[in-house]
């Protein structure tokens, strides 16, 4: 069991670290979009796509960077108690409280999958079955959802990024749980941040 947990940590931590390090440069993409928005509004006709594209870039930046933030311990904690306890006690607290986060992320993931299925034209009540049907060729996409703005982009790409980010966050939270279990067993997994 210990070897399995260590292999899982060795697989997921580097994956989310690489994705997080790449995505952190997305801030420059957002800055470029917003700079172009300012220039086009000042000197030319305003671009219809800039505000919504900046929002999409922010969502991708935030949701794909979330697992890396969890890994680095950059998420908000209640330091009144947590900051003063030993690493073993922190691992115990995290091992219990992570269950609530897993339940929340599970609901968020299912809702994201359902929303993505809707954006691809599926209006039924079995979104996971819809995606399984897409893979096997038994289902087909319907009318693709578009934003109600003047630019009217398709929404499935950003919804897919959101589902991917939530999935990576689930994997990272399970990785943090594995690290906590290993710490409780006496393995050195580095100090809790």
Q: What is the pLDDT of residues 3-61, one digit of tens each?
A: 899 999 999 999 999 999 999 999 999 999 999 999 998 998 888 899 899 999 999 99
pLDDT of residue 115: 95
pLDDT of residue 78: 66
Q: Does 171 score more than 80 pLDDT?
A: yes
Q: Is residue 69 a part of any domain in this protein? A: yes
Q: Which two tokens stand for residue 111?
A: 């809702």
Sign of CA dihedral 61, 63, 68, 70: positive
pLDDT of residue 192: 59
What is the rounded average pLDDT for all residues in the chain? 90
* Model pTM score: 0.89
Q: Does 193 score more than 60 pLDDT?
A: no
Higher pLDDT, 187 or 175: 175
pLDDT of residue 93: 85
| Averaged pLDDT for residues 81-110 | 87
Per-residue b or e along 118-131, where b marks 16 or more CB atoms closer than 10 Å to that residue's CB: bbbebeeeebeebb
Q: Is residue 117 a part of any domain in this protein? A: yes
Q: Is residue 189 a part of any domain in this protein? A: no
| Averaged pLDDT for residues 169-181 | 94
* Beta strand spans in the chain (E): none
Q: Which two tokens stand for residue 66?
A: 């979330």
| Averaged pLDDT for residues 144-157 | 92
Q: Is residue 51 a part of any domain in this protein? A: yes
CB 175 within 8 A of CB 72: no
Phi, psi of 160 (to 5 degrees): -65, -40
* Residue 165, Cβ density class (10 Å: 0-12 exposed, 13-18 middle, ≥19 buried): buried
CB 127 within 8 A of CB 116: yes
Q: Is residue 171 a part of any domain in this protein? A: yes
Q: Is residue 193 a part of any domain in this protein? A: no
pLDDT of residue 120: 92
Q: Which two tokens stand for residue 79?
A: 């330091």
Higher pLDDT, 150 or 15: 15
Q: Does 191 score more than 70 pLDDT?
A: no
Q: Which two tokens stand for residue 184?
A: 């409780």
Report the C-alpha gap between 74 and 34 in whole angstroms.
Answer: 26
| Number of structural domains the chain divides into | 1
Report the C-alpha gap between 137 and 166 in whole angstroms.
Answer: 26
For 68, the domain range is 2-184
Residue 111 three-state SS: helix
Q: What is the pLDDT of residues 84-93, one digit of tens each?
A: 888 888 888 8
Q: Does 94 score more than 90 pLDDT?
A: no
Q: Is residue 191 a part of any domain in this protein? A: no
Q: Is residue 119 a part of any domain in this protein? A: yes
């Amino acid at each position: 069991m210990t070897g399995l947990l260590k292999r899982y940590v060795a697989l997921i931590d580097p994956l989310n670290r690489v994705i997080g390090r790449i995505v952190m440069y997305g801030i420059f993409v957002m800055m470029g979009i917003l700079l172009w928005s300012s220039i086009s509004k000042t000197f030319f006709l305003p671009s219809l796509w800039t505000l919504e594209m900046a929002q999409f870039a922010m969502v991708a930046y935030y949701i794909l960077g979330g697992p890396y933030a969890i890994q680095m311990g950059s998420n908000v904690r209640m330091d009144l108690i947590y900051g003063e306890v030993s690493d073993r006690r922190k691992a115990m607290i995290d091992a219990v409280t992570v269950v609530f986060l897993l339940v929340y992320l599970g609901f968020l993931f299912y809702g994201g999958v359902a929303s993505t299925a809707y954006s691809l034209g599926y209006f039924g009540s079995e979104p996971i079955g819809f995606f399984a049907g897409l893979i096997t060729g038994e289902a087909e996409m319907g009318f693709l959802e578009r934003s109600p703005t003047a630019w009217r982009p398709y929404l499935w790409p950003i919804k897919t990024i959101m589902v991917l980010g939530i999935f990576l966050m689930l994997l990272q939270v399970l990785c943090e749980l594995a690290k906590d279990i290993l710490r409780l067993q006496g393995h050195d997994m580095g100090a809790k941040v």
